[in-house]
Amino acid sequence: MIAVHTVEEIRAAEKALMAQLPAGALMQRAVAGLVTVCARLLDGVYGARVVVLAGAGSNGGDALWAAARLARRGAHAQAFLLAPEKAHAEGLAAFRAAGGRLVEPAGAADALAEADLVLDGILGIGGRGGLRGDAALLAGLLRAGRTAGAVVAVDLPSGVDPDTGETPGAHVIADHTVTFGTGKAALVVDPAAAAAGVLHPVDIGLEPYLPEPRLTVLDDADVAVLLPDPGRESDKYSRGVVGVLAGSGQFPGAAVLAVGGALHGGAGMVRYAGPESVATEVRARWPEAIAGLSPDAVGRVQAWTVGSGLGDGRGDDVHAALGAGLPVLVDADGLRWLPERFTGPAVLTPHAGELARLLGVERAEVEARRLHHARQAAQRWNAVVLLKGSTTVVAAPDGRVRVNPTGTSALASAGTGDVLAGLAGSLLAGGLSPFDAGSVGAYLHGLAGRRAAASSGYPSAGDALAELPGVVRSLRGVVGGG
């Protein structure tokens, strides 16, 4: 699991830890980690050309110290100071003492063009708002590919907002980010995360001083533990039955895909509720599914998945499913029938356009502020909100968030959302909480998309669905499940 903390939490932990350490020791831990990564990225430190972009704060201090150490190992180090009068004094002194040279503004473009490695130490967790002035110009040069070197962001790419993952203005786009102590939202939530490149966490001993994280990123082992495990004496009912209210004459495929997802999420049985013409297609593809005309007619379930491809009608059926007092997952067209607030367990699975409609804002606004809007909707409807897209964010009404790390744009194709709705609904029926069902569902779905892309290049929703059994099998192997 990756833990993500806020700047405020990091500052408090840093203060507590620094009180136990000699002055400057914490920065030297960070610098040691940074140097190790830089040395690994360089094809030999001796003779390498390193350019530092150093801002006014400790982030610039880290970068200057790191360049000083690389210079001592034979690197040719140059630094561009964005606020020369406020540059980190000890870092600058060490840099100069190691033979580092300062570059005048007019020489910055040439230095970048010749660099093997660029250290972005303009802004770290003290940054607020986008880059301005020379910093914005330099970031522009980097973005325009005016350096052949690897761009290594110190702690986070300068100019992105640490706590929200938003990009309020000009910012650096890095190839690598060496981050200290704990994760930051900007490193895992788009659009900022897209600027971070490959992440290299460096342990500086902050963990004992940090609170329980409100935002986390699950890994294989976390998900393996959360997956429902059929007990020795389980039967098809005790494993949970999931009802799927999806598809229509116009979109019968949505029902087929949602039922397919549901059949692979661990529930013991899938009951499909819908018109006979659609049920015929569902049964033809999935003979294991049971079908009936409506939620009332289909029989008992432990959770409902509602909405994928429903089209315009069937409000009564949606109300019946949402009013059954059971855990529910609401997707797509089902989102048009939300109650004022949920009183029972619920997961909503909008994409950015659907969430924008629900909240009465523009789609671009949701995409620019994913964390904010997912959290806002979770509180507004008292439901877990799984906001789909380039980084899927799962927000709980109590403020906890999980960001899914497995997503892939290979999943950006029609019908993949239907598979996810069925899959996560099945996990809900299997007894997972809405927060776990949403985040585990998104995780499995992302891995299936990646596997499908590896074998078919441009996978269809059906290709991703076909990979789900293999994904679950390999994850259950992580904890020795069978």
Ligand X SMILES: Nc1ncnc2c1ncn2[C@@H]1O[C@H](COP(=O)(O)OP(=O)(O)O)[C@@H](O)[C@H]1O
State the nearest-atom distance from the C-beta of 59 to ligand NPW, in Å: 3
Interactions with K ion, residue window 150-179 (CB under 5 A): 153-154, 158
Site for ligand NPW in 184-213 (CB under 6 A): 204, 206
Determine whether the annotation assigns residue 121 to a binding site. Answer: no
The interface region with ligand X, picked from 177-185, 205-213, 276-284, 401-409 by CB under 6 A, is 401-409
For ligand X, the closer CB: 69 or 388: 388
Q: Which is nearer to K ion, 158 or 426 (CB)?
A: 158
What are residue 303's DSSP bridge partners? 242
Under rule CB under 6 A, residue 370 binds ligand X? no
Closest CA to 436 of 387, 396, 388: 396
**CB distance 410 to 459 below 8 Å:** yes
> Does 59 sit near ligand NPW (CB under 6 A)?
yes
> Does 457 show up as a binding residue in the annotation?
no
* Orientation angle between helical segments 370-381 and 352-359, nearest 10 degrees: 50
Q: 120 labelled as ligand-binding?
A: yes
Is 59 annotated as a binding-site member?
Answer: yes
Closest to 475 (Cα-Cα) out of 221, 228, 262: 221
The listed partner (ligand X, ligand NPW, K ion, none) that binds 120, CB under 5 to 8 Å by sort, is K ion
Q: Return the range that interacts with ligand NPW (CB under 6 A); candidates 70-78, 100-108, 123-131, 461-469.
A: 123-131
Residue number with CB closer to ligand X (98 or 346): 346
Q: DSSP for 164-213, please give it.
A: T----SB----SEEEEESSB-GGGTSTTGGGGT-EEEEE--S-GGGSPPP
The CA–CA distances, whole Å, from 230 to 376, 407, 419, 481 equal 35, 27, 22, 10
Q: Was 159 annotated as part of a binding site?
A: no
Task: Report in angstroms how near the CB of residue 125 gets to ligand NPW at its nearest.
Answer: 4
Buried-exposed string 189-224: b where 16+ CB fall within 10 A, e elsewhere: bbbbbebbbebbbbebebeebbeebbbbbbebebbb
Dihedral over alpha carbons 398, 400, 404, 409 (to 10 degrees): 60
Q: Among residue numbers 131 through 160, which ones bind ligand NPW (CB under 6 A)?
A: 131-132, 154-155
* Exposure of 206 in the CB half-sphere (CA atoms within 13 A): 28
Partner from ligand NPW, ligand X, K ion, none contacting 418, C-beta within 5 to 8 A by type: ligand X
| Residues β-bridged to residue 291 | 272
416 binds ligand X (CB under 6 A): yes
CB 156 within 8 A of CB 197: no
Query: Please, what is the minimum distance in Å from the beta carbon of residue 404 to ligand X?
Result: 8
**Three-class secondary structure assignment of 90-104:** HHHHHHHHCCCEECC
CA separation for the pair 401, 293 (Å, rounded): 37
* Cβ at position 383, least distance to ligand NPW in Å: 35
Is 254 among the annotated ligand-binding positions? yes
- Known binding residue 431? Answer is no
Read off the tokens for 292. Answer: 């009936």
**CB of 290 within 8 A of CB of 270?**
yes
Nearer to ligand NPW, 44 or 84 (CB): 84
Which residue in 33, 55, 327, 350 binds ligand NPW (CB under 6 A)? 55
Report the distance separating Cα 387 and Cα 275, nearest Å: 29
Residue 10 binding result from ligand X, ligand NPW, K ion, none, given CB thresholds of 5 to 8 Å by partner type: ligand NPW
213 binds, among ligand NPW, ligand X, K ion, none (CB under 5 to 8 A by kind): none
By beta-carbon proximity to ligand NPW, the closer residue of 172 and 298 is 172
Residues 336 and 355: beta-carbon distance below 8 Å: no
- Which residues are paired to 290 by β-bridges? 271
Count of chain residues binding ligand X (CB under 6 A): 18
Measured from the Cβ of residue 177, the count of other Cβ atoms closer than 10 Å reads 27
Q: Which of 356, 411, 465, 466 binds ligand X (CB under 6 A)?
A: 411
Task: Give the list of residues 6+ apart from residue 110 with CB closer than 8 angstroms, or none.
Answer: none
x/- letters, 218..257, toward ligand X (CB under 6 A): ----------------------------------------
Compare residues 120 and 166 and give the one whose CB is closer to K ion.
120
Residue 364 interacting with ligand X (CB under 6 A): no
Q: Which of 80, 95, 180, 286 binds ligand NPW (CB under 6 A)?
A: 180
Q: How many CB atoms lie within 10 A of CB 337?
A: 18
Find which of ligand X, K ion, ligand NPW, none residue 6 binds, CB within 5 to 8 Å per kind: none
The minimum distance between CB 244 and ligand X, in angstroms, equals 14
The least distance separating ligand NPW from the CB of residue 275, rounded to whole angstroms, comes to 57
Q: How far is the CB of 205 from ligand NPW (least distance, A)?
A: 9
Residue 112, phi-psi category: left (phi > 0), alpha (psi -120 to 50), beta (remainder)? alpha
Strands 346-349, 384-387: parallel, antiparallel or unpaired by DSSP? Answer: parallel
Of 10, 262, 424, 465, which one interacts with ligand NPW (CB under 6 A)? 10
Binding site for ligand NPW (CB under 6 A): 10, 14, 26-27, 30, 55-60, 62, 123-129, 131-132, 154-155, 180-181, 204, 206
Binding site for ligand X (CB under 6 A): 332, 351, 388-390, 392, 407-409, 411-412, 414-418, 420, 445
